[in-house]
Chains A and B, each alone.
Chain A
């Protein structure tokens, strides 16, 4: 609040709220996106379902770490939120629509 004057006038939200939204997106959005992308990979890999699920689980943490760090690197919060929550929604919806294999 007290540093609003020095902040960019275009910022609609104060810094603390933006940082909270960013951290929330990195932690929970990053988890949701990693889970959805790993699930989609597991569903689509043309190998035995158990093997595909295991690759998805093994790689999911790498995806989570990468997404989480990128959420703090990209300066534009709107891009971060759109990419993280968007990929979670799209991949998650695809997994739900495809349904279980076995």
Chain B
């Protein structure tokens, strides 16, 4: 009964600490590992959220336009279509997004509540409404990685519990592995359980600062929901905290006196002078066309670590500055930088790829840890106990089947007709039906075959993406290479690289595990090192 929670035996203090931490590390990882793997993988994909969205709407092509022009073009569109609204939200394009997004909120009308208006996509240069296939784009992976496709607020709470388990697992894992820098250089292939332990240690230690950072800052992104109590201890109303921390944009009730909205260009220029040249990311206009109208500009945060945007509010009728956000204190700035470190918006293309690869090592750390749990407990020549079989099957479902689901989401984007109603939901369904369906079907196969076959399917699915893209759009790999469309070319090449990675995993899974050859170990013989073999010790500790 290896699954029974047995507490470690009494031992001297330091050894006892490492033993208890190893024990809790295994349980934390086991209970949260499958969800954490999915959070890591989809979260890692989200570093390319705008790029995935662009790839999933191949009808749209990005055009670089100054913020002033895009903002004014959007305002002109809103004035022509919905001039009497209470509020306009304008999300300006940047070098990673192709379109301006606008959203209008109608005046509240108690007799006839207005229908909720959809978000519109506008051409940044002309303000013309753009039509493209309906899709969640990269937003789906991003939302899933902290909401887990569960009803609000349960998904966020479950993700928070898993992140908390991850944080505790990192701390206990570090305590367990005292020889952390030796582990860094220790990776012995084809040694069965030892290789899995080495791989787990190497992927964890290699990127340990990143894993600790991304876990802690992930908790901080939703701290207002997870830990509101320190705010309640000081403030009777949560709004008072928000105002004290971030300031409140000047707001006034509509007067009813009409007054034309001034051009937004000079306001953006004035804000740029305060923001050392940064452009706004979002423009919010209240009561347009009224004498009390306001224009609030939120600063683009791509150029700095703190992801909390500064804001400046102008009068829409006179152009005078009405209010601006206070410069944050040390704690608020720390929280803003933590948010920025998690989101990675500040990272340029090369640093973004570093984020991406470090995120993959996170998924690898969780995945190898889960596999290690099974490998360590499997006894040769003995029937596996129920818990072992359960964990192995869940490992296959979570680790080997999720990539196919993600590929299915992208494939569905190209294969579902562009005009089909409800197609965005169908794309999402394609991911989950593929993921869970494949996991269910894999139960029919022996575990080893299930690993190989599901990973082979993932290889095929990712390799098919560039092909399907080339057949269904005019932006295939050859065309995009020829025209210098690096986003589309990079996406197709990345899919081929991921296919190769899945193929390598399938190949590794198909190899016979080598029994550890203790005598022929490459490690230096005992005379060379006075210390006991480190790996043996770690194996015992686990």
Contacts and interface: CB of A to CB of B under 8 A. Distances in A.
Interface string B214-244: 0010011001100101111111100011001
Given A48-B329, A73-B17, A100 B230 contact: no
B535 interface: no
Contacts of A15: 5-6
A27 B514 CA distance: 40
A43 B233 contact: yes
A38 B332 contact: no
Contact of B331 (A40, A55, A64, A98): A55
Given A39-B232, A55-B331, A95-B233, A19 B167 contact: no
Interface in B472-502: none
Contact of A100 (B168, B233, B330): B233
Nearest to B331: A54
Given A38-B229, A49-B234, A57 B335 contact: yes
Nearest to A16: B5
A50 interface: yes
B244 A102 contact: yes
A69 B329 contact: no
A57 to B, nearest CB: 5
Contacts of A69: 21, 24, 168, 171-172
A53 B329 contact: no
Contact of B5 (A19, A40, A41, A100): A19
B164 interface: yes
Given A65-B167, A68-B168, A58 B223 contact: yes
Interface residues of B, number: 41
A35 interface: yes
Interface in B190-229: 216, 219-220, 223-224, 227, 229
A50 to B, nearest CB: 4
A47 B332 CA distance: 13
Nearest to B25: A69
Contact of A56 (B230, B240, B329): B230
Contacts of B335: 54, 57-58
B216 A50 contact: no
A82 B332 CA distance: 34
A58 B20 contact: no
B230 to A, nearest CB: 3
Contacts of A72: 20, 23-24
B167 A73 contact: no
B10 interface: yes
B525 to A, nearest CB: 36
B235 A100 contact: yes
A55 B335 CA distance: 9
A30 to B, nearest CB: 9
Interface in B155-208: 161, 164, 167-168, 171-172
Contacts of B329: 47-48, 50-51, 54
Interface in A21-77: 27, 34-36, 38-43, 47-58, 60-62, 64-66, 68-69, 72-73, 75
Contact of A49 (B6, B17, B20, B244): B244
Contacts of B233: 39-40, 42-43, 53, 56, 95, 98, 100-101
Given A53-B235, A95-B229, 14 more contacts: A15-B5, A38-B229, A38-B230, A43-B234, A49-B241, A50-B244, A50-B332, A53-B331, A58-B335, A60-B229, A68-B168, A75-B7, A102-B234, A102-B244
25 contacts: A19-B7, A42-B231, A43-B233, A48-B244, A51-B332, A52-B331, A53-B241, A54-B245, A54-B332, A54-B334, A55-B230, A56-B229, A57-B230, A60-B227, A60-B230, A61-B167, A61-B223, A62-B216, A65-B171, A68-B164, A73-B17, A98-B233, A100-B236, A102-B234, A102-B240
Rank and list the top 8 A-B pairs by shortest CB-CB distance, nearest first: A56-B230, A54-B331, A42-B230, A39-B233, A50-B244, A49-B234, A35-B229, A50-B245
Interface of B: 5-7, 10, 16-17, 20-21, 23-24, 161, 164, 167-168, 171-172, 216, 219-220, 223-224, 227, 229-236, 240-241, 244-245, 329-332, 334-335, 338
